[in-house]
Structure 1
Amino acid sequence: MKNKISIITGASSGIGKALAYELAQQDFNVVLVARRKNLIDTISEDIESKYGVKALAIEADVTIEKDCKMFIEKAINEFGSIDILINNAGISQRAMFADLQLDVIKKVMDVNYWGTVYSTKYALPYILKTKGSIVAVTSISGMQPLPARTGYCASKYAVHGFMDSLRIEHLKTGVHIMIAAPEYVKSEIREHALMSDGNEQGESPRNEKGMLSAETAAKRIVKGIRKRRRTMLIGYKGIMAVGLARFTPKFMDRLTYHVIQKEENSPY
């Protein structure tokens, strides 16, 4: 995979950061996109010193269409091509819908859904040339919803619909479209989850012991890209949840209710 080019949004922490390291280990040049420039600068310098590949850090906000166009153009100016786009930037939300300010849902949709749409729109012409991959890192919540995450689940369902439709459009073009849906992963996403008023939660309501590491999730995602998989369900708990929801939906509704009810500071 030497000299292949991968763009990763949301690359400053969590799965995005782990993906940057995993791809660099496999001789990819990487483009790290995030709002926190100081973090991706440090990551890119570390990657270049460790793996001898090029790592380009670009400050951008995926909710802004012109930013998405900008980082794609910068990647092309630097490398001349794009082989993989990984839409990983994401934000969560935790509040009952009755209490939730509507602009919070809009913000979640802007990051999770529109960030994916904008980035994909501007990368697609170049990925068509390389017959590369477009990946969306979503969540099991895009297949099996959770209460008190209406905005988050809606955004992930929207991404799934977008990617599934796009895949069919490109059945004959050679472009690979993949959804990667992990179960709970140890990351900052729960700390930054938006509450009913739009403020960040600050700390995770869940015991993160036993959750998948970001590094494990990244390895499985990259393996899926290599095998040009359609959908990657990552983590046995997530696979079980999706299976139960399909065959025993009422039971899964009740089970999910009770799981969320037991969370620290549960909205129930």
Structure 2
Amino acid sequence: MLDAQPGIAAEQAPQRVAAVPLTPGQGVFAGKVAIVTGSESGIGRETARALCQQGAAVVLNGRCPERLAHTLRELESAGFAVTSYVADVTDYAACEALVETAVLTFGRLDILVTNASISQRAYFADMQPEVFKQVLDSNVYGTVYPLKAALPALIRTKGSVTFISSISALNGMPSGSAYCAGKAAVSNLAHTLRLELADTGVHFGVVHIGFTQNDPDKRVLDAAGQPVPIAHRPPRWQKSQAEVAAIILGHIRRRRQRTVISALGLLIVLVHTYLPRLGDWIVLTTTRRLRHFYE
């Protein structure tokens, strides 16, 4: 995910170089080329690593040049086929350059994972409008723009698109209005695209992430747009980033329409579908009794 900091326009231009031949490797994604947005850290980094381990060539992406360079060196030192591109995915021109980097470097594009986004820790009534917009833009346009730029290349390869959503999209969560709205939007977008582009052979799927262990410096936005630590999550409820990445890879490999991670996520689906009033009662009760869970 993106760090909670103001958006920056990407200034890095893709080098005009000949495509690097993909040498046959081992793994279910051998010979495939992937872009993982927001892969300088966190779940995105571990998803990129897992794709590399399964034979894919991967284009890393992030907004922090130093952090992105560190991740690139780490994966290169392991012998993986990787390159990187600094880009704010809410900038469409930057997304075009990101996709161009993949095609110029590796000759094709097979997999797009739209992971980059900003989260929040703020109640709607307290949020500044520009902060709500920033969170929503990162989740919606941060998904739409990379896909729009990548779609022609993905159609050529009958590739795979995976939107990283959240269990928050399945049922609203207090202190997460913009984030929940954005994640729900991309879930519905995937459904629409499956219908519109059914004849292209492109896979569109959504992974709803549950509570996951975060990097120590992970930050979200408060009501005024300032970076703050993420709200408390009981460790026993959290999956590791590597576990989540493995589930994402299984989703891509099986070309699934939807994957919900964690027992809590599946419970939310069940309750929201069949007992929505009970679901709301549970959320309201926990909001009163476990405020640190949201604030």
Q: What TM-score do you get using the length of structure 1 for normalisation? A: 0.94
Tell me what 1:263 maps to. Answer: 291
1:58 to 85, 102, 114: 85
1:40 to 54, 57, 68: 68
- 1:165-180 equivalences under 5 Å are 165-180=192-207
- Tell me the distance in 2 between the aligned counterparts of 1:69 and 1:34: 14
Quote the offset at 1:190 in angstroms. 9.5
- Tell me the distance in 2 between the aligned counterparts of 1:8 and 1:111: 15
**Contact kept in structure 1, 2:173 and 2:180, CA below 8 Å:** yes
Do residues 118 (structure 1) and 136 (structure 2) align?
A: no
- Tell me the distance in 2 between the aligned counterparts of 1:190 and 1:244: 33
- Tell me the distance in 2 between the aligned counterparts of 1:67 and 1:168: 28
- Tell me the distance in 2 between the aligned counterparts of 1:265 and 1:180: 23
Which ranges in structure 2 are unaligned for 5 or more consecutive residues?
1-28
Quote the offset at 1:63 in angstroms. 1.4
- Tell me the distance in 1 between the aligned counterparts of 2:98 and 2:274: 43
1:107 to 109, 130, 134: 134
Tell me what 1:134 maps to. Answer: 161
Quote the offset at 1:203 in angstroms. 4.7
- Tell me the distance in 1 between the aligned counterparts of 2:226 and 2:201: 43
Distance 1:110 1:266, change over 3 A: closer
- Tell me the distance in 2 between the aligned counterparts of 1:34 and 1:251: 40
**Contact kept in structure 1, 2:164 and 2:208, CA below 8 Å:** yes
- Tell me the distance in 1 between the aligned counterparts of 2:52 and 2:259: 21
- Tell me the distance in 2 between the aligned counterparts of 1:211 and 1:229: 23
**Contact kept in structure 2, 1:92 and 1:190, CA below 8 Å:** no
Do residues 5 (structure 1) and 36 (structure 2) align?
A: no
Tell me what 1:17 maps to. Answer: 45
2:77 to 23, 26, 49: 49
**Contact kept in structure 2, 1:15 and 1:217, CA below 8 Å:** yes
Give the percent of matched residue pairs that are identical in Structure 1 and Structure 2: 34
Quote the offset at 1:209 in angstroms. 4.0
Quote the offset at 1:163 in angstroms. 1.3
Tell me what 1:248 maps to. Answer: 275
- Quick one: which amino acid aligns to residue 216 of structure 1? E
SS at match of 1:204: coil
Do residues 232 (structure 1) and 259 (structure 2) align?
A: yes
Deviation per CA, 1:186-206, whole angstroms, max 9, x where unpaired?
125994221111111235333
Tell me what 2:119 maps to. Answer: 92
